[in-house]
């Protein structure tokens, strides 16, 4: 089964007539992302907090910054690529990494204002789907067909690793999730997840009671693990992945991103404008945004959430409501 991020790539090509998405990294670096008049409405695929700032990445190498909880946005000053960026990770207010098509990996040390190319000067067309850094030195990036690389020097050098053996070693790796206590997980295809409890040194293969692709996950405040994926499917484990229980998300749309609020309530976003949200007891309701545009990332803000995807960003209050 193809990864959702590959499907999203095709959507970009067909609907948005993206040019040069698979350009070689050296050509991209020479040109770099240009100021775009409609940058705030670009397709944004990944977003995270960098201290009090919010950083979002997307098509054409566009990286957007907000210092007022998403009310106003501006482009990063220097991004050495025009390749689509799929994911971003920050370890503090200054140090972050972004990944994307062409297996490119970018880094910043000034909160996202200026970026430099750390990897990706290659001729193949592989993509990286997700990136996570534990600190300024150790990081992990993953992509299709079991592709995973780690770094121990902030991204200057990368080493290929395998999260599993046999058929499991070839599964698409869709999304990394982690806490600050040593748990790292990778949501994968065919109901699989790879979980490490020692910071990524060793990995165990886990499966949920569902054979579809899983697009992402999170480690909840109480240590529980949550995974989500196709057709509204989501699962929770209270024993580090040994057993899984289905969550009734009140949706049949694929769920692409999620977040947990401080009170333990959870929000998922996904295809068709779907937003599924719960109370602290994980009783879910869902709504459909009027635009019905796909969403690929969600960030918590005071009294609400910021949703990222087609058309840029959308702010919704809590609980989310359709006007």
* 52-62 pLDDT per residue, tens: 999 999 999 99
Q: What is the pLDDT of residues 227-259, one digit of tens each?
A: 999 999 999 999 999 999 999 999 999 999 999
pLDDT bucket at 323, cuts 50 / 70 / 90 = low
Share of the chain above pLDDT 70, in %: 87
pLDDT at 120: 76
Average pLDDT score over the chain: 90
In this predicted structure, what is the pLDDT of residue 135?
Answer: 97
What pTM was estimated for this model as a whole? Answer: 0.89
Instruction: Please determine, for residue 4, whether its predicted confidence score (pLDDT) is greater than 60.
Output: no
| Predicted local distance difference test score (pLDDT) of residue 27 | 54
What pLDDT score was predicted for residue 39?
Answer: 77
When pLDDT is averaged across residues 209-215 and rounded to a whole number, the result is: 97
pLDDT at 121: 54
Q: What is the mean pLDDT of residues 167-185?
A: 96
pLDDT given for residue 21 in this prediction: 36
Give the mean model confidence (pLDDT) for residues 133-156.
Answer: 96
* Domain ranges across the chain: 1-135+146-157
pLDDT, residue 320, reads 93
Per-residue pLDDT tens for 36-92?
666 788 999 999 999 999 999 999 999 999 999 999 999 999 999 999 999 999 999
What value does the mean pLDDT take over residues 88-115? 97
% of the chain exceeding 90 in pLDDT:
83
- Predicted pLDDT at 125: 53
* Cβ-contact 114, 76 below 8 angstroms: yes
pLDDT for the residue 23: 41
Q: Does pLDDT of 304 surpass 60?
A: yes
**Residue 8: pLDDT over 50:** no
Give mean pLDDT, residues 84-111.
96
């Amino acid at each position: 089964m193809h990864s959702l991020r590959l499907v999203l790539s095709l959507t970009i090509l067909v609907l948005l007539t993206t040019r040069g998405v698979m350009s070689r990294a050296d050509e991209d670096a020479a040109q770099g992302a240009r100021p775009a008049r409609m940058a705030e409405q670009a397709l944004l695929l990944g977003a995270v907090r960098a201290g009090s700032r919010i950083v979002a990445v997307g098509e054409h190498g566009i990286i957007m910054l907000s210092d007022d909880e998403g009310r106003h946005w501006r482009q990063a000053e220097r991004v050495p690529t025009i390749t689509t960026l799929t994911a971003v990770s920050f370890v503090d207010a200054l140090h972050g990494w972004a990944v994307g098509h062409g297996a490119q990996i970018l880094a910043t040390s000034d909160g996202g204002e200026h970026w430099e190319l750390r990897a990706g000067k290659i001729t193949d067309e592989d993509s990286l789907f997700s990136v996570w850094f534990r600190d300024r030195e150790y990081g992990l990036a993953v992509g299709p067909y079991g592709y995973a690389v780690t770094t121990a020097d902030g991204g200057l050098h990368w080493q290929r690793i395998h999260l599993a053996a046999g058929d499991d070693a070839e599964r698409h790796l869709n999304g990394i999730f982690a806490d600050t206590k040593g748990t790292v997980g990778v949501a994968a295809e065919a109901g699989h997840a790879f979980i490490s409890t020692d910071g990524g040194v060793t990995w165990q293969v886990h499966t949920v009671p569902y054979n579809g692709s899983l697009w992402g996950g999170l480690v909840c405040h109480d240590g529980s693990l949550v995974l989500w994926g196709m057709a509204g499917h989501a699962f929770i484990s209270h024993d580090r992945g040994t057993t899984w229980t289905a969550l009734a998300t009140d949706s049949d749309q694929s769920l692409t991103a999620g977040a947990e609020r401080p009170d333990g309530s959870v929000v998922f976003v996904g295809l068709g404008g779907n937003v599924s949200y719960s109370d602290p007891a994980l009783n879910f309701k869902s709504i459909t945004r009027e635009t019905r545009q796909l969403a690929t990332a969600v960030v918590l803000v005071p009294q609400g959430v910021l949703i990222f995807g087609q058309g840029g960003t959308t702010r919704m209050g809590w609980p989310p409501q359709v006007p």
